[in-house]
Amino acid sequence: MADHPVDEKLPPLKMATTGLQHVAAMYAGVVAPPLIVGAAIGLTATELTFLTGACLFTAGLATFLQTLGIWKIGARLPFVNGVTFAGVAPMTAIVASTEDKSDALPIIFGAVIVAGLLGFVAAPFFSKAIRFFPPVVTGTVITLIGISLLPVAFGWAQGASPEADDFGSATNLGLAAITLVIVLLLRRFTRGFVKQIAVLLGLVAGTLIAIPFGVTDFGPVADASVVGFPTPFHFGAPQFQLAAILSMCVVMVVSMTESTADMLALGEIVDRKADEKVIAAGLRADTLGSAISPLFNGFMCSAFAQNIGLVAMTKIRSRYVVAAGGGFLVLMGLCPMAASLIAVVPRPVLGGAGVVLFGSVAASGIQTLVRASLDKDNNVLIVAVSLAVGIIPIAAPEFYHSFPENAKIILDSGISTGCVAAVLLNLIFNHIGGRGREAEDVTHPMEAGTEISEASRAPATP
């Protein structure tokens, strides 16, 4: 009996090239979180290079766990794992609330370890609670992730530092715009592999164009060694603070929700249904990978949705191809010079590409919401209120200024608050005594239901 396409082992050359394609599709997504968090802390170029390499290395380890699997760990589907975007906003909030910035990463690492271990224990129970995380919840959360990160791209587009003289200059904004246009042109007029790596090609082109303007610094590459290893606890032993742990536990729930939705989608694409057993195994890989990641100075890991689209497009369903991609990630993490290349890219260039990258995440959330039956009054209200709650930290950054600092770590993360709001509202409207209103169709959340409207227009009985 022939192997299922998911378990097919391709020839070495094809395995390597298609594995690299998966890395190309998600590379920018892996390096963005350490860039954001590292910049918030104020890391030097050398430290930023180290953190980026560590995240590449741990993404490779997590991908091995997910694709190859051990015991009851790993969905054994063609999943690429990497640093989840959901953790960026809470981590930057932790950085902002930490007086001594040298303690920020140890506090983050401690919180991620605890959240990962708790998630590992909760994985089999979480897989049974799928019905509480329908598209109306997952779509709202994914949309908020993209919206919450767009301000980061806009900040990058203005320059490296608000204190710099050229921050927001026409040159910086022009470089961001040029990079954005290049990415859009590549996406519009190319096909196949080139189209998949349009963001990377845009970063390369934008960096080259920026050289004559004197904003490209090749120092990090010159200072980086060819071979290195992400020394365990390089930034200090993990510290455990309750508020940070609670914040990252919320992120873990968000991450597990995303991964569950991704597994369900990928199972359909590769024709191997992701049942409760597969989802539990996949969540164990995500959470264990997240718990191990801080040991090597990495962040929380989750499945990358963009690679699901790559599987659908190429029709190559082998999990061993993605495992090969994980091998490349590990090798890149062990080569600081390769990891340092991203540090060369000027912030305005990153900003231009970031508009596409983060905007695509929001678009993915909107695609999920399309399947969320938004013709139902209940679901429209869930999305409306949850998005509003999640956008508060972006639209009104000082909204929670009178709250305790520990509470603000969670409240200042629109992703966390929006996720909690979506889950609670979904329970209230669609599970707890909400059956009677479930079938109501409305054209606008502020309009009355059909039955009420007709009754109000009916003439009174004399």
Tens digits of residue pLDDT in 174-189: 999 999 999 899 888 8
CA distances to 23, 64, 136, 215 from 26, in Å: 5, 15, 26, 26
Sign of CA dihedral 442, 448, 452, 458: negative
Whole-number pLDDT of residue 455 = 42
Whole-number pLDDT of residue 343 = 64
Alpha helix stretches (DSSP H) within 159-275: 170-189, 192-196, 198-210, 219-223, 242-269
* 266 CA to centre of own chain: 17
- φ, ψ of residue 230 in degrees (nearest 5): -70, 90
Whole-number pLDDT of residue 1 = 45
- φ, ψ of residue 438 in degrees (nearest 5): -65, -30
The residue ranges of the chain whose pLDDT is under 70 are: 1-2, 24-25, 28, 130, 192-193, 196-197, 220, 223-224, 305-306, 309-310, 312-314, 339-343, 405-406, 409, 433-462
- φ, ψ of residue 234 in degrees (nearest 5): -60, -35
What is the spatial distance between Cα 372 and Cα 137, in angstroms, rounded to a whole number? 8
What is the spatial distance between Cα 89 and Cα 94, in angstroms, rounded to a whole number? 9
Alpha-carbon Rg of the chain, whole angstroms? 23
DSSP category for residue 87: G
| The pTM of the whole model exceeds 0.85 | no
What is the spatial distance between Cα 230 and Cα 51, in angstroms, rounded to a whole number? 8
What is the spatial distance between Cα 450 and Cα 442, in angstroms, rounded to a whole number? 7
What is the spatial distance between Cα 2 and Cα 46, in angstroms, rounded to a whole number? 49
Q: At what angle do helices 12-41 and 319-333 cross, to 10 degrees?
A: 50
Q: 271 with 68: CB under 8 angstroms?
A: no
Whole-number pLDDT of residue 355 = 85
Which tokens hold the place of 410? Answer: 């969670």
The string of pLDDT tens digits covering residues 409-434 is 677 777 778 888 888 998 898 877 64
* 303 CA to centre of own chain: 8
Whole-number pLDDT of residue 115 = 94
Kindly compute the dihedral angle of the four CA atoms of residues 119, 124, 129, 131, in this order, to the nearest 10 degrees: 120
Secondary structure (3-state) at 213: helix
HEC letters along 216-228: CCCHHHHHCCCCC
Residues in contact with 31: Cβ distance below 8 Å, sequence separation at least 6, in sequence order: 52, 55, 56, 339, 342
CA distances to 419, 428, 438 from 424, in Å: 9, 6, 16
- For residue 16, which of 313, 270, 341, 320 has the smallest C-alpha distance? 320
Whole-number pLDDT of residue 143 = 84
16 pairs with which residues across the strands? Answer: none
